[in-house]
Homo-oligomer: A and B are copies of this chain.
């Protein structure tokens, strides 16, 4: 009761503030310069915020109906393939703005990539925000613009959403969930369990940039050449790869847990042994240095624009050169293979010193709130 009373009083004064002339937006609607609890209340303030910030940026015919659900003809979806793919991720990254991106860009790329790695054409995304009371509307607008720009670049539409506001210090600035659907073409049958002896392991460039960038953005190392997150939508690159190597067994974006975790998942699911080579694994000098100082292993650092692909030997050259022709695959590399006769479920690395070390799954947490 006390809580509610206090909030009623607070909202009352915010509503007054919202009526001062300098908060009138270009649409003539009244949006307070800061997010208040009323913006999540289901009433007028929420409707104004949705109209003025979300609809304004994401505008498309499906979203603009303002129904609680988006609707699509199944016959339209069937033009892309025979299977619907569905995925979700919540983004809680800290800081929300970082070199190479922000939480909004990440929330689109992450979900687009989760669809694309399964061979799906990403089509429609939802956007659910949990916003901390007191956030500047201008900050929210910046995040939303970044989402809109990234969605446009990725060819997807944000078709429905949800806005919740929680009291100060009940969440840290903003959390965004995106769920997405796409359609998988009938020719693609990818799976972590499909790796076979002799398959090659490809990656599309430098590993660990995102993890290092976030760690650097949070810390106090003040690197002279700041590392940028690799955050990018990979759907085009993946289509290119699948066209060049139609018998590709499996693709996965190497996010939390890094490529080490993806390789271990493949080895476990396909009951095979995987060998990678340190000298062939592309890691920037800055990231290597950064990891040495902090005692981290770059194989476990998160990426937001890097994939691991398992490709049959006879298609690996074609795949690699197609990937290298794409802007997001310029530094693609063939880093290893599925080893016949190796111990099933085991991943190891040939080190640059000629030794061999086991690459296990991540134990513990290298870096919280990385995505």
Contact = CB atoms under 8 A, between A and B. Distances in A.
Interface of A: 1-4, 7-8, 11-12, 14-15, 36-38, 40-47, 67-75, 77-78, 81-90, 92, 94, 114-115, 117-118, 120, 124, 126-130, 159-162, 164-167, 169-172, 175, 177, 179, 181, 183-184, 191-192, 215, 218-221, 252, 255-258, 261, 294, 300, 302, 361-369
Contact of A42 (B41, B120, B126, B261): B261
Contacts of A167: 368-369
Residue among A41, A171, A255 facing the most chain B CB atoms (10 A cut-off): A41
7 contacts: A4-B366, A8-B365, A40-B365, A42-B362, A67-B118, A70-B87, A86-B160
A17 to B, nearest CB: 12
Contacts of A258: 42
Closest 4 A-B residue pairs measured CB to CB? A42-B256, A43-B362, A1-B219, A42-B257
Contacts of A127: 88
Nearest to A68: B114
A253 to B, nearest CB: 8
A88 B45 contact: no
A302 B92 CA distance: 28
Q: Chain A binding site: helix, strand, loop or mixed by DSSP?
A: mixed
A82 B75 contact: yes
A235 to B, nearest CB: 13
Contacts of A192: 67
Contacts of A88: 126-128, 160-162, 177, 179
A10 B367 CA distance: 12
Nearest to A260: B43
A41 B72 contact: no
B219 A183 contact: no
Nearest to A73: B83
Given A177-B88, A368-B37, A118 B74 contact: no
Contact of A128 (B7, B89, B162): B89
A81 B128 CA distance: 27
B92 A70 contact: no
Given A4-B368, A41-B365, A92-B166, 9 more contacts: A7-B365, A8-B364, A12-B364, A41-B256, A43-B361, A43-B362, A88-B160, A88-B162, A92-B130
Contacts of A124: 86
A11 B362 CA distance: 12
